[in-house]
Amino acid sequence: MKNSSVEDFISKLYDDYYLFIYKFCLVKLKNPENAADCCQDVFTTAMTKLAKEPQEILKPKSWITTIAGFTVMSYQKKQAISQRRNIPIDDLEISDNNAAVIETIENLALGDIKLENILHRIKEAVSEKEHDIYNKYFREGHTIKSIADDNNISYDAAKSRIKRIKYKIKTIVFDVLS
């Protein structure tokens, strides 16, 4: 695709799917301003992807919705981090003993302690081989087949290990947070 055809394609995509993508983002983010920003990022990402690696898009709605899903996840992560890190100074009523400030800071620190506790418990519960499989599958995006081949195990065994690792991690997270 040439640059002009990429721009034409994105323009048509924008005209055809903007409202759909905006509603998708709004449902997930529950904030009109964030949904509009996210929607804009979706189309910017799509344009950047096509400019870097020209490709034929057979199912444009599916393609743009996939990009929207990843963009929404990114926004949700940023929101979670922002909420955990920002202390709403304006909302605090500061008294002589600053009890409200101390309580807010302790709650934020507790969130960080829980995260550190989760990470520590996961490191203890998951073997080095399981950690390697986890990283390959969830972080690096390897297929189950490639993981099976790398570890000289069957496809079904690799799939079962991934499920067990995922269950271990979920259990730890729920234990610490509850």
Asked if 81 and 98 sit in the same domain, the reply is: no
Q: Are residues 103 and 51 in the same domain?
A: no
User: pLDDT, tens digit, for every residue of 60-112?
Assistant: 899 999 999 999 998 888 777 666 555 444 444 444 445 554 555 455 555 55
Q: Which domain holds residue 117?
A: 94-177
The enclosing domain of 115 has a CATH number of: 1.10.10
Q: What is the mean pLDDT of the chain?
A: 79
Do 9 and 57 fall within a single domain? yes
Cβ contacts of 172 within 8 Å, gap of 6 or more: 118, 121, 122, 125
pTM score, two decimals?
0.47
117 and 171 fall within a common domain = yes
